[in-house]
Amino acid sequence: MDKKNTYLNEREKLLTPLLAIEEASRCLLCHDAPCSKACPSATDPAKFIRSLRFRNIKGAAETIRENNVLGGICARVCPTSKYCEDACSRCGIDKPIEIRKLQRYLTAYEKATGMTVLEPVEAVKEKIAIIGSGPSGLSAAASLVRDGYKVTVFEQKNKLGGWLSYGIPTERLPQSVIDDEIRYIKDLGVEFKTNCKIGQNINIDDLKQQGFKAILIAVGMQNSKMINIKGMELNGVLKGTEYLSEAKSTDGDIDIGEHVIVIGGGDVAIDCAVTTKLLGCEDVKIVYRRTIDKMPADIEEIKHLQSLNIPIYTGFKPEEIIGKDGSVNRFKAVGMFDDASLELVADRIIFAIGQEADPIKNIADVDVNDKQIISICDYQTNIEGVFAAGDIVEGDKTVVYAVKHGKDAAIEIANYLNEMANVKGDR
């Protein structure tokens, strides 16, 4: 297996114009457009499919970009089997329209033909700070700058994009696609400050003093959860998100081991297992505590995992990691539903059992629940002028949902600033 080609090349092929129009022609042109209702970010697939079907490719591409500034990214990572494609009326006849692939075709057309759908707007309104450059922060920034606000995004890391750049593997989401869409947002006038951790370098009070009239916390969930079993201190016990970040930032130039076990059943677990396999490790296994139908990962990703012959041991929870000379040597698990047990040879154990937030109180004294999720009402926190969106608040933990949050939070921020201006009568 050629490591560079399999890990670095985008997995899914782009539709040809003929196939795209043919696929769009399967659309039943439903009156109530269930696909559009099921898209969290209101990208309006019914409208862009209809335009494409009637050969208005430019109009179709415009619909996507106007509604979803990260349309090209969503066209690669959306779990459509639980959103737009799940709602497609053709599900009841044969199979849903391949909406994500059509969206990818149209965003590729937009780029190839050099279209500029969104133009910069003069920044005449208040200064707004956004903390975090993941999809929720990016989407909010684009909406606000298009509304005439002066927007600055503060990012603690060197690269922008949050988990888009640091988590989702290249074979599903090439960095060039992320860079293109972020450049688009920069060209709209958003200012970015990287290597700037709010709560460490500066805090929210400093931002207010610098004249930012509203602040959006869009910091996501940055830490991999771990469990407390014997052997966690051994070399070779890894955190899933850190593993993927390292693989992505080194273009796959990492030490993968020979016998790898991934613990978990979500997208991150699948990405860890697939990445390891594509990078040349023959013995990769997933261990998951529930049954396969309960796995939260996208069904298409589970199918891909199976096509790579990666076995999934279901119904087991980790019991102990046994070491040799300070490194992982064997892994033991016990049955969740019976008294079964499992013992496997391993030199790497990758934990991908969910993420948790950094202590939010370092950033602001906002109300949070016991999982560090920020409590909001219409995206507003308990602190005047401070809003929150994305993975750090309640909701689906997906890119398209983060885009929705960014758009919706932008509306609430604009409403708030308008109200403030009306109260002061200074507009």
**155 makes contact with ligand FAD (CB under 6 A):** yes
> How many positions of this chain bind ligand FAD (CB under 6 A)?
38
Least gap, CB of 155 to ligand SF4 (angstroms):
23
**Residue 45 found at the interface with ligand SF4 (CB under 6 A):** yes
386's CB contacts (< 8 A; 6+ apart) are 204, 214, 215, 217, 364, 366, 380
- The tokens for 251 are 């273009």
Query: Under the criterion CB under 6 A, does residue 83 sit at the interface with ligand FAD?
Result: no
Nearer to ligand SF4, 96 or 162 (CB): 96
Residue 162, interface with ligand FAD (CB under 6 A)? yes
The distance of closest approach from Cβ of residue 368 to ligand FAD in the complex, given in angstroms and rounded to an integer, is 14
Outline where DSSP puts E strands in 179-289.
191-193, 212-217, 223-224, 237-239, 259-263, 283-288
Closest distance between ligand SF4 and the C-beta of residue 399, in Å? 8
**Residue 390 near which of ligand SF4, ligand FAD, none (CB within 5-8 Å, type-dependent):** ligand FAD
Cα–Cα distance for residue pair 228/353, rounded to 1 Å: 13
Answer for which of 44, 85, 171, 267 binds ligand FAD (CB under 6 A) is 267
- d(CA 312, CA 193) in angstroms, rounded, equals 42
The structure tokens 């006038």 sit at: 189
What is the H or E stretch that residue 319 is in? Answer: strand 316-324
| Beta carbons of 321 and 328 less than 8 angstroms apart | yes
Tell me the site size for ligand SF4, rule CB under 6 A.
14
Binding flags for ligand FAD, 193-212, as an x/- string (CB under 6 A): ----xxx-------------
Helices (H) and strands (E) in the chain, counts: 16, 15
Using the structure block, give the residue that is written with the tokens 């758009």.
Answer: 407
Which of ligand SF4, ligand FAD, none sits in contact with 83, Cβ below 5 to 8 A by type? ligand SF4
Q: Would you say 43 or 139 has its CB closer to ligand SF4?
A: 43
- Listed in sequence order, the residues at least 6 apart from 206 whose beta carbon sits closer than 8 Å to its beta carbon are none
* Contact range with ligand FAD by CB under 6 A, out of 17-25, 142-150, 379-387, 390-398: 390-398
Q: Establish if 137 lies at the interface with ligand FAD (CB under 6 A).
A: yes
**Interface with ligand SF4, residue 330, by CB under 6 A:** no
- Closest contact distance (angstroms) between CB of 74 and ligand SF4 is 4
Here the tokens at position 242 are 């850190």
Figure out which of the listed residues 40, 45, 134, 236 binds ligand FAD, where binding follows CB under 6 A: 134
Three-state DSSP string of 60-111: HHHHHHHHCCCHHHHHHHCCHHHCHHHHCHHHHCCCCCCHHHHHHHHHHHHH
Which of 135, 137, 142, 192 is CA-nearest to residue 166? Answer: 135
Which range, of 96-104, 180-188, 280-288, 313-321, touches ligand SF4 by CB under 6 A? 96-104
**Of the candidates 67, 156, 170, 276, which one interacts with ligand FAD according to CB under 6 A?**
156
Pick one of 131, 234, 274, 310: the residue that binds ligand FAD (CB under 6 A): 131
Residue 77 binding result from ligand FAD, ligand SF4, none, given CB thresholds of 5 to 8 Å by partner type: ligand FAD
Nearest-angstrom CA–CA distance, 123 and 376: 28
| Contact code string over 59-78 relative to ligand SF4, x by CB under 6 A | ---------x-----x---x
Q: Are 106 and 48 in contact (CB under 8 A)?
A: yes
CA-nearest of 266, 155, 175, 216 to 405 is 216
Per-residue contact string for residues 391-420; x = within reach of ligand FAD by CB under 6 A: x-----xxxx-x------------------
Which of 212, 190, 64, 216 is CA-nearest to residue 120? Answer: 190
- Is 170 among the residues that bind ligand SF4 (CB under 6 A)? no
- List residues bridging with 328 in a β-sheet: 323
- Roughly what angle, to the nearest 10 degrees, separates helices 175-187 and 135-146? 30
Please classify residue 113 by burial: count the beta carbons closer than 10 Å to its beta carbon, then call 0-12 exposed, 13-18 middle and 19+ buried.
exposed
Site for ligand FAD in 226-255 (CB under 6 A): 241, 244
Q: Which of 357, 400, 402, 409 binds ligand SF4 (CB under 6 A)?
A: 400
List residues binding ligand SF4 (CB under 6 A).
39, 41, 43, 45, 68, 74, 78, 80, 83-84, 99-100, 103, 400
List residues binding ligand FAD (CB under 6 A).
77-79, 131-137, 154-157, 162-163, 167-168, 197-199, 218-220, 222, 241, 244, 267-268, 271, 363, 390-391, 397-400, 402
